[in-house]
């Protein structure tokens, strides 16, 4: 029997931190595209809530995580308004590189929480890990599509979804070895974030598709 007390609080904390991190990445991308105030809020919201909402739909979880914690919506709006004022006042030029680090934090946290929530429903390990990948990746995919970009998860060539996949398996492995759920959750999140941070720091790239010559 795994400990029931600390885990719900830790899951909520991780999902809240991941939501803020992805909202920040969406906000910076919207600022790069020079969207208006409504566009900034929509893009930030899609980045923050898109992956978790799809996960909740697939797992048939109700209410959705952002409905259950409606305070996060107010935090998102406050973050967007504050950031727009600061960016304009300080004349900060958002770059794609500035967006990568909050995105990496959100990736690690959401991959672990999505995997844990799926495991709590007694789903097979491979399904749970893929649910973690969906949670971690889909918000960024929606963010980039709305901003008229090929999703960075598909074109970046640096490991992204692969990091979320590996982090999910670290969580599963930690549980299999007998670690409590809270420790496994933190290990999975740390592994996914660490791998993504290492890929960004070293500029390691996965092999690109190289089609042969056209006939």
Per-residue pLDDT reduced to its tens digit, 17-34:
888 888 888 888 888 888
The answer to whether the CB of 129 falls within 8 A of the CB of 165 is yes
Given pLDDT bands bounded at 50, 70 and 90, which one contains residue 160? confident
The answer to whether the CB of 16 falls within 8 A of the CB of 72 is yes
Q: 211 lies in a domain?
A: no
**Cα–Cα distance for residue pair 99/93, rounded to 1 Å:** 12
Share of the chain above pLDDT 90, in %: 30
Q: 104 lies in a domain?
A: yes
Interacting residues of 78 by C-beta distance below 8 A, sequence separation 6+ = none
Written as six digits, the tokens of 73 are 């919506």
The boundaries of the domain holding residue 50 are 6-202
Query: What is the model's pLDDT at position 206?
Result: 75
- Provide the 3-class DSSP secondary structure of residue 23: helix
Q: 123 lies in a domain?
A: yes
Q: 198 lies in a domain?
A: yes
Q: 207 lies in a domain?
A: no
The answer to whether the CB of 187 falls within 8 A of the CB of 111 is no
Q: How many domains does the chain have?
A: 1
Q: How large is the angle between the packed helices 181-202 and 96-120, nearest 10 degrees? A: 150
Query: What is the model's pLDDT at position 8?
Result: 79
Q: How large is the angle between the packed helices 37-59 and 71-90, nearest 10 degrees? A: 150
Q: 121 lies in a domain?
A: yes
Query: What is the model's pLDDT at position 170?
Result: 95
The answer to whether the CB of 18 falls within 8 A of the CB of 106 is yes
Given pLDDT bands bounded at 50, 70 and 90, which one contains residue 194? very high
Q: For residue 138, give the nearest of 95, 106, 98 by alpha carbon.
A: 106
Q: 21 lies in a domain?
A: yes
Written as six digits, the tokens of 138 are 């889909």
Q: 214 lies in a domain?
A: no
The answer to whether the CB of 15 falls within 8 A of the CB of 129 is no
Share of the chain above pLDDT 70, in %: 88
Q: Average the pLDDT over 87-94 and give the result.
A: 58
Q: For residue 174, give the nearest of 162, 159, 191, 196 by alpha carbon.
A: 191
């Amino acid at each position: 029997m795994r400990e029931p007390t600390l885990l719900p609080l830790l899951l909520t904390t991780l999902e809240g931190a991941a939501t803020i991190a992805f909202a920040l990445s969406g906000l910076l991308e919207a600022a790069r595209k020079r969207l208006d105030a409504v566009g900034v809020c929509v893009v930030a919201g899609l980045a923050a809530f898109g992956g978790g909402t799809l996960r909740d739909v697939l797992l048939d979880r109700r209410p959705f995580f952002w409905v259950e914690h409606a305070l996060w919506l107010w935090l998102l709006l406050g973050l967007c308004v504050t950031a727009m004022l600061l960016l304009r006042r300080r004349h900060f030029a958002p770059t794609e590189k500035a967006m990568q680090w909050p995105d990496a934090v959100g990736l690690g946290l959401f991959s672990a929480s999505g995997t844990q929530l799926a495991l709590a429903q007694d789903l097979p390990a491979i399904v749970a890990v893929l649910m973690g990948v969906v949670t971690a990746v889909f918000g960024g995919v929606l963010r980039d599509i709305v901003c008229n970009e090929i999703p960075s998860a598909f074109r970046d060539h640096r490991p992204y979804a692969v990091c979320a996949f590996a982090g999910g398996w670290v969580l599963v492995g930690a549980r299999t070895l007998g670690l409590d759920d809270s420790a496994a959750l933190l290990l999975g999140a740390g592994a996914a974030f660490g791998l993504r941070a290492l890929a960004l720091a070293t500029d390691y790239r996965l092999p690109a598709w190289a089609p042969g010559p056209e006939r």
